[in-house]
Amino acid sequence: MAYKNQYDQYVKEMLDGMDAYSVSITGRDEHPNLEKASEASIQNFTDWADPWNPLFNDEEYAKTTKYGGIIATPMYQDAITTKIYFPHLPAEGGFMYHNFVGEDWWNLHEVHYDDTFTVTHSPTPWEDITVDGEDTFSEFLFHFNVADAFNQNGQVIASVDSMMDVSILKERLNAVADSLPYEDHYYTDEEWDYINRIIDGEVIRGATPRYWEDVQPMEEIPPCTIGPTTRWDMVAFCAARQELLFHPMRVWRHSTNMMLMKDEFNVSHMDVEWHNSDKQAAIMGDPRSFNYGASGRTQMARLVTNWMGDDGELRAFKWRHLKRTYTGECLIVQGRVVGKRITDDGEYVVDLDVWMDNPVRGNVSESALATVVLPVKDPSDPDLASQCFDVSKKITLPLGTKVRIKDRTDLFPTGYPLANAEGEVCHVYPWQRTSANSYGNYICVDIKKCDTVLGTGTKLFVKEENVEVME
């Protein structure tokens, strides 16, 4: 690769000696991956992820299912596999800014009480995604956790590839100049009625089988919701994820394996405090605290388990974190069927396009492609192969296309904030330039004209189907 700025030597050293130039941001050197799925551990995660589905909460009910008892909710494997190593530079090497891209999960298998685990981690690969001709950044895509987890029977219970993009800047972002526009949202009674209608309308399929043959193209999944989120939600998620050690700051300030940041009073803080403190978020250039991206991921998985029923199995989950969601905002999880096929292993699977709408700002904040295995009524039916389909859509609009965002009536009754907003199709994150790391028909629009403070001057993701090309 061609290094382009005065920090070339530090970047080269970082890449040549990744182990020496990496720090754990979870303390996993001291806190090994979860080695046993105790009842308390599973329920701790379930209390955040899905305290409503009886398969995960009611022992007597769960005994009547094919699992013979309670199992962990999907994404519990995160606590088993997590090992986050972040590239590190000395202070004189420049300022490093990162964005969590998302995760590819596959080989997912149910986890029962008292299962035990072993995990194998692969080296930390990276991709240079620096754009030629730009001398402000050096940019890389780090696959910071590539792992396989096995249970006591030798079964793979999860494989994961976790990704973040890293930009090396010459100096720290200006916390004021580079902040997104922001204003607190006041929730009207109408909006609360809308949120509560979604909650009341959530459907847990449960013991009623959803058969592969009955699934139709573009079939809509009843939505679910999370929010308006608060800092308590983020504390609850952090505890449920069982990822961090909760030592006093005195311990972390003398540790070499945690990422710390200093405020204007020369006091060091854990970097993850930006999820709970507006002040700490501002240090990194954000106007206020924001949700853990993975907190939304668990709710997207809940939409899938609601839909597939007890007899379905979530086999893969390719998730992309598209935009930070600030605490106080609401998220609506939506989904639809985009594919139905028979695998080489003879499994009958359905592919689901799942996304999270933020009706406060108007954008899509998270997306995922979920693959579900469903039962069939008659495996010997010779016509099953003829029922396969693929109606998934890929991005077709090139960069720079001028677009207008269409109005929507399926979100808040008080109006869609991005209705008739105008802008250009753009890239907001370096990883978008690598087609293998993007998914679906989600485009980013650099909004030039909009009626709301939250819109103009921002780069927000929407579905391509929700825009029209301007003449």
How many Å is the maximal CA-CA distance in the chain? 72
Which of the residue ranges 8-22, 178-192, 367-381, 444-458 would you say has the lowest mean pLDDT? 8-22
Number of neighbours of residue 121 by Cβ within 10 angstroms: 15
236 Cβ contact list (under 8 Å, min separation 6): 47, 48
- What pLDDT is stored for residue 243 in this prediction? 67
Residue 456 has pLDDT above 90, yes or no: no
Which of the residue ranges 51-55, 157-161, 175-179, 356-360 would you say has the lowest mean pLDDT? 175-179
Of 122-131, 160-169, 315-324, 333-342, the range with the highest mean pLDDT is 333-342
Asked if 262 and 268 count as a contact pair (C-beta separation under 8 A), the reply is yes
Burial pattern 165-176, b for ≥16 Cβ within 10 A else e, equals: bbbbeeeebebe
Residue keyed to tokens 């379930």: 46
Residue 8 has pLDDT above 60, yes or no: no
Residue 10 has pLDDT above 90, yes or no: no
For residue 249, with 0-12 CB atoms within 10 Å meaning exposed, 13-18 middle and 19 or more buried, which class applies? middle
- Return d(Cα 443, Cα 464) in angstroms, integer: 6
Confidence of residue 367 (pLDDT cuts 50, 70, 90): very high
Residue 301 has pLDDT above 90, yes or no: yes
Helix 39-49 vs helix 293-308: crossing angle, to nearest 10: 90
User: Where is pLDDT greater, at 11 or 147?
Assistant: 147
Would you list the domain boundaries of the chain? 1-172
Confidence of residue 94 (pLDDT cuts 50, 70, 90): low
Determine phi and psi for 16, rounding to 5 degrees: -70, -30
What is the SS3 string spanning the chain? CCCCCCCHHHHHHHHHCCCCCEEECCCCCCCCCCCECCHHHHHHHHHHHCCCCHHHHCHHHHHCCCCCCCECCCCCHHHHHCCCEEECCCHHHCEEEEEEEEEEEECCCCCECCCEEEEEECCCCEEECCCCCCCCCEEEEEEEEEEEEEECCCCEEEEEEEEEEEEEECCCCCCCCCCCCCCCCCCCHHHHHHHHHHHHHCCCCCCCCCCHHHCCCCCEEEEEEECCCCHHHHHHHHHHHCCCCCCCHHHHHCCCCCCEEECCCCCEEEHHHHHCCHHHHHHCCCCCCECCHHHHHHHHHHHHHHHHCCCCEEEEEEEEECCCCECCCCEEEEEEEEEEEECCCCCEEEEEEEEEEECCCCEEEEEEEEEEECCCCCCCCCCHHHHCEECCCCCCCCCCCEEEECCCCCCCCCCCCCCCCEEEEECCCHHHHCHHHCCCCEEEEEEEECCCCCCCCCEEEEEHHHEEECC
Opening angle at CA 357, ends 177 and 398, nearest 5? 70
- Return d(Cα 243, Cα 354) in angstroms, integer: 25
Residue 287 has pLDDT above 70, yes or no: yes
Residue 239 has pLDDT above 90, yes or no: no
Confidence of residue 471 (pLDDT cuts 50, 70, 90): confident
Average pLDDT over residues 235-263: 75
Architecture of domain 1-172: Roll (3.10)
- Read off the pLDDT of residues 118-176 as tens digits, 9 standing for 90 and up: 998 887 777 777 766 555 567 777 788 889 999 999 999 999 998 888 777 666 655 44
Average pLDDT over residues 347-364: 96
Residue keyed to tokens 């009623």: 208
- What pLDDT is stored for residue 9 in this prediction? 55
- List the one residue out of 351, 349, 444 whose CA is nearest residue 391: 351
For residue 302, with 0-12 CB atoms within 10 Å meaning exposed, 13-18 middle and 19 or more buried, which class applies? buried
Residue keyed to tokens 């998730």: 319
Average pLDDT over residues 246-263: 72
The number of CA neighbours under 13 Å toward the Cβ of 66 is 11
- Read off the pLDDT of residues 180-238 as tens digits, 9 standing for 90 and up: 567 889 999 999 999 999 999 999 999 999 999 999 999 999 999 988 999 999 888 88
Residue 257 has pLDDT above 90, yes or no: no
Average pLDDT over residues 56-85: 91
- Return d(Cα 186, Cα 387) in angstroms, integer: 47
Question: Hey, what's the torsion of the CAs at 467, 468, 470, 471, to 10 degrees?
Answer: 170
Residue 51 has pLDDT above 70, yes or no: yes
- What pLDDT is stored for residue 33 in this prediction? 61
- What pLDDT is stored for residue 140 in this prediction? 76
- What pLDDT is stored for residue 211 in this prediction? 98
- Return d(Cα 237, Cα 267) in angstroms, integer: 26
Residue 249 has pLDDT above 70, yes or no: yes
Of 34-38, 146-150, 161-165, 452-456, the range with the highest mean pLDDT is 146-150
Percent of the chain scored above 90 by pLDDT? 54
Average pLDDT over residues 453-464: 84
Average pLDDT over residues 57-86: 90
- What pLDDT is stored for residue 132 in this prediction? 64
220 Cβ contact list (under 8 Å, min separation 6): 334, 335, 336
Find residue 261's DSSP bridge partners.
Answer: 269
- What pLDDT is stored for residue 34 in this prediction? 74
Radius of gyration of the chain (CA): 22
Averaged pLDDT of the chain: 84
